Structure formats: C-alpha cells, structure tokens
Amino acid sequence: MKIKKGDTVEVIRGEHRGTRGKVNAVLVGKDKFGRKDPDNTRVVVAGVNLIIKHQRRTGDVRTQVGRIEREAPIHVSNVMLVSPKTNEPVRVAFKVDADGRKVRREAGTDEAID
C-alpha cells in the first residue's frame, strides 16, 4: 500500500480539499470472492469527513448513546501523502533496495520515505 497507518496525508478531492490529517486506519476492500481489492480501499483521516451517527441503546450492553461524531472513511485515491522532509504532497513509488527490501520512495526525487 502506498498509504499506511500513521502517515500524514492531504485531501486532494472533495469537500475537504486541502485539509491535512493523520491516517487512523486503512480499510482494504474485498471483492465478491473475498480477495483484496485495491479499487475499494479507503482510509480514515483524523478530522476529515466528520459525520454524526445517531446511536440508540441496545439492550444491556454498555455503549455510547446519542449523537456520536466520528470520521467516515474516504477513498484512497482522494488523498496524497505529505513528504516528511519537504512538507509537500508527493506521489509514491516503490523500489527494491540492494538488500532486497521493497521501499516506498518519493516519485519525483527518488528519496526514501521510511
């Protein structure tokens, strides 16, 4: 995956365009056979795409009741990784090191991200 949990990303499409936040979760979609489907991959970004969920009491279980504000997932194509060095949105490429490890790199400058 080009985006991982803990990365700082910037929203490039939609209502929250230009907003930056930290990735709280990466939700990998599945196709009808249960295999990973990158077309349905979504990310949950802190402070972006906030929704209000109306939660009612469900039996004797201790759950939060009432109006709950939380982040909804957005499609991974609508976010772009922010470079930790230049603090600018960058495209992500992969390259195999001399050690044989697959490493994420900035596509333009070819610098390692992590």
What percent of the chain clears pLDDT 90, i.e. is strictly above it?
65
In tens, the pLDDT along 4-23 reads 999 999 999 999 999 999 99
The residue ranges of every structural domain in the chain are 8-82, 83-114
- Global confidence as pTM: 0.82
Backbone angles phi, psi at 77, to 5 degrees: -75, -15
Helix (H) or strand (E) holding 67, with range, is strand 66-71
Residues whose CB falls within 8 Å of the CB of residue 88, separated by 6 or more in sequence, listed in order: 82
Tell me which residue of 88, 72, 89, 85 sits closest to 112, measured CA to CA: 85
25-80 per-position pLDDT tens digit: 999 988 889 888 878 899 999 999 999 999 888 877 777 888 999 999 999 999 99
